[in-house]
Structure 1
Amino acid sequence: MRDDSDIETLIAMMARLPGLGPRSARRAVLHMIRKRGVLLSPLAETMTRVAQDARECLNCGNVGTQDICDICRDNRRNIGVICVVEGVADLWALERAGVFKGRYHVLGGTLSALDQVGPDELRIPKLSARVESEDVTEVILALNATIDGQTTAHYIADELEGRVQLSSLAQGVPIGGELDYLDEGTIGAALSARKPI
């Protein structure tokens, strides 16, 4: 005989997801139970399939259901340009924008002396190997504008210097941004990267 502990366990597990606290998780679970046929059962089946099939792309580090992801297999993409990102969420954000038509390389984090994360703990050696083995002409460093992100970008730039053209994303005031609401680092980067009009 089952008791309500399974429901409480589901709520507790949902509350551990990013962006959901205990209250939001409780509401989400209650909604799924009410819509059991159209929401809960299909969700459970899909989660089971994803748990069995999800894997990291052997080439770029993206997440998919095959050894080589859809992006790496897409012949329409520019194989000469690799965009380096910290994590899969960053790759997905760039894909949602729909403006980059090259390939990606997911590092799996950033260098961090504090956390004892060195180049070998990341996919930096694999990036270097891809530059050598693939017909890469440009590497775009699309790392977060944090100290660890910038340290990682400088390390990669030093590693690849002279082997490939290097570039990074522009930084500064976002479209629709108001100066009063921006932090000093963003304002400083925008001012340093100013261009003539």
Structure 2
Amino acid sequence: MNALDELSETFSHLPGIGKKSASRIASYLLKTDRAFNIRFSNQILSLQERIKPCSICGAWTENDPCPICSDIARDKSVICVVEQPQDVSTIESSREFHGLFHVLGGVISPLEGVTPDKLRISQLFDRVKSGGITEVIIATNPTVEGDTTALFIQRVLQDTGVSVTRLASGLPAGGDLEYADRLTLVRSFQGRIKI
């Protein structure tokens, strides 16, 4: 195996990159100028030194606390709970949510050895207990593990007096009923709104 094959093999381990894409990326890097490759490799090398989880919400940041937790214009009475740090940027890109975030670091999955104590649920409870929070929005993925985690959080927070809500899920905009799976249809009917 030569150096190009080794690099292709390494890239193929990245999420969403198959063997063909990995081979194309490695070939591109071989053909591109050396300055680009040096900058690219330096960015990869320094990534874990420069980016850390925010000590408050757990989102990826270079500055602690992160810009969202530090923003005085944010609604500090609402916390949106997400599974992973990258979920914060996904929700932020919608420009619909103006509150704070809390990253769990995963979901409850006993089969994979992920129990509630391995997630940032106690930190969420502490944030709610410290006061000022009126609503916790649970934005875990609509999977069995995401639903289990949402239910667990709801039970943990039930005596705090805080409103616990869950993001609605159902048919995507522009989607066809004929292609919707059963669970999506069930959630669409359960989450229907008055028009």
Taking structure 2 as the reference length, what is the TM-score of the superposition? 0.92
Query: Mean Cα displacement is larger for which, 143-152 or 43-52?
Result: 43-52
TM-score (norm 1): 0.91
Q: Where does structure 2 lack aligned partners over 5 or more consecutive residues? A: none
Deviation at 1:99, TM superposition (A): 1.1
Q: Give the Cα separation in 1 of the matches to 2:2 and 2:65.
A: 40
Q: Could you tell me which residue of structure 2 aligns to residue 196 of structure 1?
A: 194
- State the Cα distance separating 1:48 from its structure 2 match: 2.2
Q: Which residue in 2 is equivalent to 1:152?
A: 149
Match of 2:176 in 1: 178
Instruction: Specify the SS of the correspondent of 1:127.
Output: helix
Root-mean-square deviation (Å) = 1.7
User: Percent identity among equivalent residues?
Assistant: 36
In structure 1, stretches of 5+ residues that fail to align are: none
Q: Which consecutive aligned stretches of 4+ in structure 1 deviate over 6 angstroms post-superposition?
A: none
Whether 1:93 and 2:90 are equivalent positions in the alignment is yes
Task: Report what 1:80 is aligned to.
Answer: 77
How many residue pairs were aligned?
A: 194
Give the superposition deviation at 1:142: 0.6
Q: Give 2:43's aligned residue.
A: 46
2-side partners of 1:51 and 1:10: how far apart? 20
Q: Larger deviation: 150-159 or 51-60?
A: 51-60
- The SS at the match of 2:96 is coil
Q: 1:115 to 1:48 in 2, by over 3 A?
A: closer
Which stretch of structure 1 is more off in the superposition, 166-175 or 122-131? 166-175
Q: In the TM superposition, what is the alpha-carbon distance from 1:169 to its structure 2 partner?
A: 0.6
